[in-house]
């Protein structure tokens, strides 16, 4: 039986949401297995890719606050989306995948989950150029499409500690419930079946580290405006 961690961290601020993902990536060597995190946003916000220029982002979205992600990619609106993260330690098979393979793997996982809910979606076969900096105005190869429109994208970061994938889903208009989607994600996990999901206990040290990163980095104007 394959075991994996499951963390539902609830609603958080933009800075804390990014900080917890980075803290989990730092802690990846001690996880010893994959971790799936579900979370939401305590206020409307927009995240933007690590390499984007703040002045350009500021002009492209009215959403505030703006927070620089630890991963790359474009602007993602977080006013109604469903967000998740995947963290893999360096000894996990997904860590050895090339970036294009792990990206496709995450969206194939989503595709299977939506299929379980009776929603037909497809992986983008190629790139369709988006408006400057806007993640959901076009699509990249292997993004998730519904009737040709992008409904899910992701961004990645690999370090010596592990692999972090941050994903965002724009809820389809069919009225699916977030709770049903989360259950389908657990059932559709692309690991050797059956998968036993273990509740992940964040613990005080990890929570403290996330709060430190939120205050010193992700809520800092110096970090968010660094380029």
* Phi, psi angle pair for 95, to nearest 5°: -65, -30
Q: What is the per-residue pLDDT for 135? A: 52
CA distances from 120 to 66, 81, 145, 151 (A): 33, 19, 9, 12
Indicate the pTM of the whole model: 0.94
Q: Which of 31, 46, 60, 135 is an active site residue?
A: 135
For the chain, 227 residues long, the average pLDDT of each consecutive 10-residue run is: 95 98 97 96 97 96 96 94 98 96 97 95 80 59 92 96 97 88 96 90 96 98 94
Active site residue 126: no
pLDDT tens, residue by residue, 136-157: 556 788 999 998 899 999 999 9
Q: Where are the domains of the chain?
A: 2-224
Q: What is the per-residue pLDDT for 194? A: 83
Q: What is the per-residue pLDDT for 36? A: 98
pLDDT tens, residue by residue, 125-139: 876 765 554 555 567
* Phi, psi angle pair for 36, to nearest 5°: -110, 120
Give, in words, the CATH class of 2-224: alpha beta
């Amino acid at each position: 039986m394959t075991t994996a961690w499951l963390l539902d961290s609830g609603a958080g601020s933009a800075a804390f949401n990014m900080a917890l993902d980075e803290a989990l990536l730092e802690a990846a060597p001690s996880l010893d297995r994959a971790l799936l995190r579900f979370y939401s946003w305590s206020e409307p916000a927009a995240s933007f890719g690590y390499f984007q220029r703040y002045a350009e982002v500021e002009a492209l979205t009215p959403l505030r606050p703006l927070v620089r992600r630890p991963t790359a990619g474009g602007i993602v609106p977080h006013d109604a989306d469903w967000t998740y993260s995947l963290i893999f330690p360096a000894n996990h098979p997904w860590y050895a995948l090339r970036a294009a393979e792990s990206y496709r793997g995450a969206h194939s996982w989503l595709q299977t989950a939506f299929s379980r809910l009776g929603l037909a979606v497809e992986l983008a076969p190629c790139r369709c150029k988006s408006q400057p900096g806007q993640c959901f105005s076009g699509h990249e190869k292997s993004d998730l499409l519904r009737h040709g429109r992008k409904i899910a994208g992701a961004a990645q970061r690999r370090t010596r500690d592990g692999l972090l994938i941050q994903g965002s889903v724009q809820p389809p208009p069919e009225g699916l419930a977030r709770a049903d989607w989360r259950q389908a994600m657990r059932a559709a996990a692309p690991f050797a079946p059956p998968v036993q999901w273990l509740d992940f206990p964040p613990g005080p040290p990890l929570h403290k580290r996330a709060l430190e990163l939120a205050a010193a980095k992700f809520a800092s104007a110096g970090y968010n405006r660094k380029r």
